[in-house]
Every structure is written in C-alpha cells, then in structure tokens.
Structure 1
C-alpha cells in the first residue's frame, strides 16, 4: 500500500512537472537551431539559441520567424519597425533619416577592399513598394548581407509569423551568452 501511494505521488509530480515544462516552452521560451549562413558572423550555422516568445520586438533585435517563401524558419535582424522609413546609402543605414552605425557588421566590413560595399544601396520604396514599414510588420536583414534572403527579397515580415526574439546562445559552449 505504501509503495503504491509513493508511486502515485511520484507519477503526479512527474505529470505536473511535464505540464509546467510544456507550458514554459510553448508560451515563454523555446530552443532553436540556426540553419544557414545569413546571420554570419553573429550567428553561425548550427548555433543553438534560446528564444523568448514574450519579449517586445525592437529595432536591431534578432528574431526567428516562419519564412514566407519556404517551409522553414529564418533568423534575421530587425532593421525597421512599423512606421519606419529605411534607406541604405554608401554602406550606411538610415532609419527615419537618422544615420545608424551597425557595430555587428564591423568584422565583415573590415574584409572589404577598395570601393566594395557590404550592403547595396536601396530605399524601402525600391525594394518593397512602400514608403514606411506597415503596421504589424517588420523589415529584416541578415548580417551576412551578400548571402541573406531577407526583406529586400521576401518583403515585410508579419508580426504574426514571429516565433520569438533570440535572447542568448547556448551552443557552442565556448560562445555561451548574449549576442551582439
């Protein structure tokens, strides 16, 4: 009788723990694996990251979303939030007319020679047909600008397609922590 009670108690504890873990994973945080080189060198193919499903998305955050053009998830950096106008000129990003440095591109820009540009010139209107990022949408770009299928090609990303914000990397172990 005593063993039966203990087994029942253990089973209840395991069920409760499973429900809590499932709830946390489904509603709050979730692990994800980076596929591809579009965010290199910030995030590399095979990196494992933890995403928050409840964090507010802001400009320059890294997000994972359902790809509108493939049956997979993409990870990119948010460059424009609703209401923003975007322009890239001479490898300098302008958001709402204000010049922004992109420190996460510093390493990639160091490898350029002469008049090479990491990011081709464009305006939001040229690549999307819109002057501003629409409500409930984001304009995203990969850090590996020459090898990224992003909003310059696939258009705006719907807020509803966002799975979560990348909060930190947990693999490889020598790179555990926050991400620039």
Structure 2
C-alpha cells in the first residue's frame, strides 16, 4: 500500500472542498445556514491532513520493524522514527531529491525502498559507500582492504525463541554497534538474485566481494546470518532512499526499549 499516495489524494480532495467552501459555496449560502455535511467534514479535515502530510513527507515518518534482520539493534515490533530530511529534501510520492543535505555514512541505519519491489520499505545498516570494495568472507567484513574492527561481546538471548547467539561489537566509521554472527551457519551466500551491477560482485564458498557502483550503497542487517540484504539482492540506488532511522518511540512488548536507539 502506497500510504504517501493515499495521503496525497486525501490532501487534494479535502483541499478542493476547503477552497470550494471558502471562496464559493459560503458566499452563496444564506446567512446562518449550515454547510452540507460533506463540505463541513472535508473542509475541517484539510488543515489536519496538511500538517500530517508535511511532517510525514519532510520531517519524520513512523515505521514498524517487521522482521529480525536488525537484531539486536532493532527488534520485531519496534516502532521507529525516520528522519526524512537528513539525506536531502525529496518531493513526496515521486521521492525525487530537490535539495541536497547530507549523504549516507557507514554505520547509518537506513530505510529505503526495496530495489526488487519499491512498494516495500526495508531497513538495514549502511556498510559500503559508492566506490567502496566490500568483502564479507568467512564472516569477516573488510572495506577497501581494511578489516572492520570487531570484538566478542558475550551472547544474545532471543526472547521469542529462547536460544543464544554469539554477539560481537563492530565499528563502522564512527558508529559502534552490536551484530550477531552464527558460528555454525554456512559462509556462502544462498539464493543470490540477478540484480543490476551483479557483475560487480564475486561469490565463492567463503562469501562475497563487491565493488559498490556510483550512486548506490551496500547494506547489511546486524543479524548477519538471518538477513536478506545487499549480499543477496544487490545495491540500494540513491533514489530509493527514504531516510535515517534514529529513535524507537514504542514497543508493545517492552516499554524499556522506548528511546533506546539513536
């Protein structure tokens, strides 16, 4: 469902009713005569929809985490806020950038439209920038020939499945974050799709190595062995970017998670 398009159509419809009532119908009604219900309700909703549309399109947008690919950073059921302007001001609905602000950086948690189906929103961590050589072999991440710093950080208990995963602390750029890496899971990438710039990647039994094309980004989930990401379906085009995730504002199952991500 394209909620942005639905909201835009509601904005247009209620806006037409508001202008019709304000500049035409009201002048023709007898004094003290009530407006038709459809005019009254449509016109009264217009200011509210203007505010919601403006906030959601240019400031922040709420999302709900649907999968466990970003565990332990984000859990299934987390409601998060996404900064819509930090990567540039974009026209709503068509998602075309009109004002440049910042570019994604390594370590950012980014929401974007899934390249294989832009009607779906995905969330992953930015690992590779345009021009980077990204390698993930034998479960070790290397960027431009330098191994990314990683340290053991005990284990993580999955509350829904009651099993433990090895947890590590990884540093991408200035961002230090936790990742889960299953020692017994295979290192090769299964079910690789035929994506644009597929020729930029080399797959072996040990993993994958890719050169990120201009205007694209390489993203991965923090739950490394339970994430379908750039290793599987390729690079994220710049035009698919929605914004940067920065805040958990609610979780029905664990109120302590509110505000735990930034």
* TM over 0.5, shorter chain: yes
From 75, 83, 96, the counterpart of 1:44: 75
Partner of 2:201: 125
State yes or no: 1:109 paired with 2:166: yes
State yes or no: 1:59 paired with 2:135: no
Q: CA deviation at 1:79?
A: 0.6
For the residues of structure 1 that align with 2:86 and 2:137, how far apart are their CA atoms? Answer: 31
Partner of 2:115: 68
Whether the 8 Å CA contact 1:79–1:138 is kept in 2: the answer is yes
Whether the 8 Å CA contact 1:105–1:143 is kept in 2: the answer is no
State yes or no: 1:166 paired with 2:245: yes
Whether the 8 Å CA contact 1:86–1:96 is kept in 2: the answer is yes
Runs of 4+ in 1 over 6 A off after TM superposition: 103-106
> What is the TM-score of this pair, normalised by structure 2?
0.54
From 169, 176, 179, the counterpart of 2:258: 176
Q: CA deviation at 1:25?
A: 1.4
Please give the secondary structure, in 1, of the residue aligned with 2:116.
coil
For the residues of structure 2 that align with 1:112 and 1:161, how far apart are their CA atoms? Answer: 28
More strand as a share of residues: 2
Alpha carbons of 1:82 and 1:17: their partners in 2 closer, same or farther (altered >3 Å)?
same
Q: CA deviation at 1:103?
A: 6.8
For the residues of structure 2 that align with 1:59 and 1:126, how far apart are their CA atoms? Answer: 22
More helix as a share of residues: 1
> What is the TM-score of this pair, normalised by structure 1?
0.76
For the residues of structure 1 that align with 2:86 and 2:65, how far apart are their CA atoms? Answer: 19
Partner of 2:233: 154
Whether the 8 Å CA contact 1:92–1:101 is kept in 2: the answer is no
Alpha carbons of 1:119 and 1:59: their partners in 2 closer, same or farther (altered >3 Å)?
farther
Alignment size in residue pairs: 169
For the residues of structure 2 that align with 1:51 and 1:60, how far apart are their CA atoms? Answer: 15
Partner of 2:62: 31
Partner of 2:145: 97
Whether the 8 Å CA contact 1:82–1:134 is kept in 2: the answer is yes
Whether the 8 Å CA contact 2:137–2:209 is kept in 1: the answer is no
Whether the 8 Å CA contact 2:132–2:211 is kept in 1: the answer is yes
Q: CA RMSD in A?
A: 3.4
Partner of 1:19: 50
Q: CA deviation at 1:72?
A: 1.9
Q: CA deviation at 1:93?
A: 1.5
Alpha carbons of 1:66 and 1:39: their partners in 2 closer, same or farther (altered >3 Å)?
same
Alpha carbons of 1:125 and 1:112: their partners in 2 closer, same or farther (altered >3 Å)?
closer
Q: Which has the larger displacement, 70-79 or 163-172?
A: 70-79
Whether the 8 Å CA contact 2:136–2:209 is kept in 1: the answer is no
